[in-house]
Structure 1
């Protein structure tokens, strides 16, 4: 089973919002076959805590415009690895150092990628 149309829509919107705030290496993964908890992960990174926070705010604002609210969030105070749970998708915004260390793409390497198009900024 593949990610729902709504999950793909939200993942692509979250990815675009992250890119608008200059996030690095934005990736969206369809995790439906590996995880019953959600349909997609979006992973983005930034070189400092301030930018991580700005990306989180932009993602929440963009998904709010699509009628989606954050069900849970963790890590915003430290802004090293912020997890945003929107139900259909989970967004991970990580400090670049932490992203390299945890290497989530390697852990979820069997999951198909959803195409997050590059921004034309």
Structure 2
């Protein structure tokens, strides 16, 4: 089953929100052929807890503007998970991103092209 167009749209909105708040290593993984409940994992790395919270807040704000609210929000500190059913956003510290390596776990799954502009720092 392919990822639905609405899920792709929400993924791109969330990814743009993460880029606006200077999230690093933004990756969208297409899980539609692997999982029944979720279609996309959107991963991002933040450098500290305030940035992780800002990333979470911005994604929730932008997706609320698009008419979506998370079904579930878990975690705080170094890993925040926002569950929008078909889209799950993982906001992680560098340490936890490197430890759990979700990118590597789902390495065989296709990536979704996000076409994000590179932020100048």
TM range (shorter): over 0.9
Question: What is the distance in 2 between the residues matched to 1:93 and 1:81?
Answer: 6
CA contact (8 A) 1:23 1:46 kept: yes
Work out the number of aligned pairs and report it.
119
TM-score by length of 2: 0.94
For 1:30-69, list aligned pairs within 5 A: 30-69=30-69
Which consecutive residues of structure 2, in runs of 5 or more, have no partner in the other structure? none
Question: What is the distance in 1 between the residues matched to 2:16 and 2:43?
Answer: 12
Partner of residue 100, structure 1: 98
Which consecutive residues of structure 1, in runs of 5 or more, have no partner in the other structure? none
> Any runs of at least 4 consecutive aligned residues in structure 1 with deviations exceeding 3 A, and if so which?
none
SS in 2 for 1:28: strand
TM-score by length of 1: 0.94
Cα RMSD, aligned residues only? 1.0
Partner of residue 107, structure 2: 109
